Amino acid sequence: MREAFLLAALGIVATEPQAQTSKDAIPAAAGDVTVFSFMGDDTETPTSRTMINKSKCSQEGAILSCTEYLDATVAGRPMRWLTMKFNEQKLFMVNASFGDAAYDDVRAAFIEKYGPPARAETRKWQSKGGAVFDNAVLTWNFKGGRLDLESLGAQVGSGAFSFVSTANAPPPEKPKVDF
């Protein structure tokens, strides 16, 4: 729920209906203690980051946001965009979108770095036009967070990955009651 809220706050909304998981899904491992790290930052060490590649980060209160649209690469493949967010200097979110041709390389690099996923499933993904596709979703569990890699992102022809640290995420904002 919190991940969905955070992704929605970033304007990242997939057109996926209710997820239908495959019967051969791998259950999540219990007691994961691995610390998530990405591009030199991790969830336990305060960052000194001020840029991501050639783009400057922006600070709003306790939240540091770093987004790269032009030169971001993961596993040697170009990303359409890559965002990293920090709360109180601690990494709490990484999101990226990439062309679907990059999926196999990103998947292989994640497995090389983080080991096999704790869960592999296939979800039904429906486009705005009504076409239905199989969406391979791999999940890695980390100390205080989770990484999801999807073969289909927000649109056909794109993949995506998202890491969210519930331990470092800012508390949800209270709704504005102005009536």
pLDDT of residue 10: 35
Report the C-alpha gap between 111 and 104 in whole angstroms: 11
pLDDT at 96 exceeding the cut of 90: yes
pTM: 0.77
Q: What are phi and psi of 133, to 5 degrees?
A: -130, 155
Classify burial at 171, counting beta carbons within 10 Å of its beta carbon; exposed 0-12, middle 13-18, buried 19 or more.
Answer: exposed
Confidence of residue 8 (pLDDT cuts 50, 70, 90): very low
pLDDT of residue 126: 84
Q: What is the mean pLDDT of residues 82-102?
A: 94
Least confident of 7-11, 102-106, 123-127: 7-11
For the chain, give the percent of residues with pLDDT over 90: 58
pLDDT of residue 125: 85
pLDDT at 101 exceeding the cut of 90: no
Instruction: List, for residues 11-45, the tens digit of each pLDDT value.
Output: 333 333 333 333 333 334 444 568 999 999 999 99
Instruction: List, for residues 46-66, the tens digit of each pLDDT value.
Output: 999 999 988 999 999 999 999
Helix/strand/coil (H/E/C) assignment for every residue in the chain: CHHHHHHHHCCCCCCCCCCCCCCCCCCCCCCCCCCCEECCEECCCCCCCCEECCEECEEECCEEEEEECCCCEECCEEEEEEEEEEECCEEEEEEEEEEHHHHHHHHHHHHHHHCCCCEEEEEEEECCCCCEEEEEEEEEEECCEEEEEECCCCCCCEEEEEEEECCCCCCCCCCCCCC
Q: What is the mean pLDDT of residues 133-157?
A: 89
pLDDT of residue 32: 57
* Mean pLDDT, all residues of the chain: 82
